[in-house]
Structure 1
Amino acid sequence: MGIQPDLILVDSLGQAGSQYLLENITPEVIAKQYNQVLDQALSKAQ
């Protein structure tokens, strides 16, 4: 007796993951996050 996949859940998680990538993994978003990290590092170095 194996684990039966919940196809509705699998589909829902796949769609949510795709939507997250489209909204959060863009050059603009990555550049903004990178700048925030650099700003934090520079402010701590002073």
Structure 2
Amino acid sequence: PKDQLAKTYVLRRILNPMGPQDAIEFLLDKLRQSKNNGDFFQSMNT
């Protein structure tokens, strides 16, 4: 869906300036807090 695509772009902008390890740790931490991808995207505020 369009909203998930927009949130993906936001996520990429957040992760881009981070180093690879920091970006992975950040992403894994956020993913662990959600039950599935839908919940993950829903938890993001844009």
Q: TM-score when scaled to structure 1?
A: 0.35
Higher relative contact order (CA 8 A, sep 6+): 2
Structure with the larger helix share: 1
Greater Cα radius of gyration, structure 1 or 2: 1
